[in-house]
Structure 1
Amino acid sequence: MIEVELDGHIVKDVKFTGGCNGNLKAIPKLVQGLTVEQVEEKLSGISCSGRPTSCGDQLAKACRAALEAQNA
């Protein structure tokens, strides 16, 4: 599960439940302050251990969903 808090198009906070502990601590710090579009550009399509997705890829999708929900 990923919780994303936005301020307009800007990522304000990210909280992960589950996944690789080190990555899940680092990724929120790296994307804080980026736009949703920047997160998508950097993280979309990344795979992990042969899986077609990753924590980063899922974060990009979660950011887009949060933005769309905010604008609905």
Structure 2
Amino acid sequence: MYTYKTKGVCSREIKFEVKDNKITELLFIGGCDGNLQGLSRLVEGLDISDAINKLKGIDCGGRGTSCPDQLSKALETYIKSNN
């Protein structure tokens, strides 16, 4: 399972697995439990690139980032480390 330490949001880290370029499992540590469970269920099964395109740039309360945006950053980091 790949682990990403978040920055600037309530969740502390994101853990996920990828198989055949699709997100197969996703878990946020900390943050708004119900919202993040919903987000996890929505993106599981999505192609990594599709998830990045949908989530990148979402802002939460003027922080300049959000848990969905942090997930896009985590996925981009995953892609870079696995090429």
Relative to the length of structure 2, the TM-score reads 0.78
Aligned length: 71
- List runs of 5+ in structure 2 lacking aligned partners: 1-12
| Larger RCO: 1 or 2 (CA < 8 Å, sep 6+) | 1
What is the RMSD computed on CA atoms of the aligned residues? 1.1
Q: Alignment identity in percent?
A: 41
- Specify which of 6, 18, 24 is matched with residue 30 of structure 2: 18
**In 2, distance between residues paired with 1:56 and 1:46?**
7
* Structure with the bigger percentage of strand: 2
Cα contact 1:5–1:66 (8 A) shared by 2: no
- Specify which of 43, 64, 70 is matched with residue 76 of structure 2: 64
Structure 1 partner of 2:62: 50
Relative to the length of structure 1, the TM-score reads 0.89
**In 2, distance between residues paired with 1:8 and 1:68?**
16
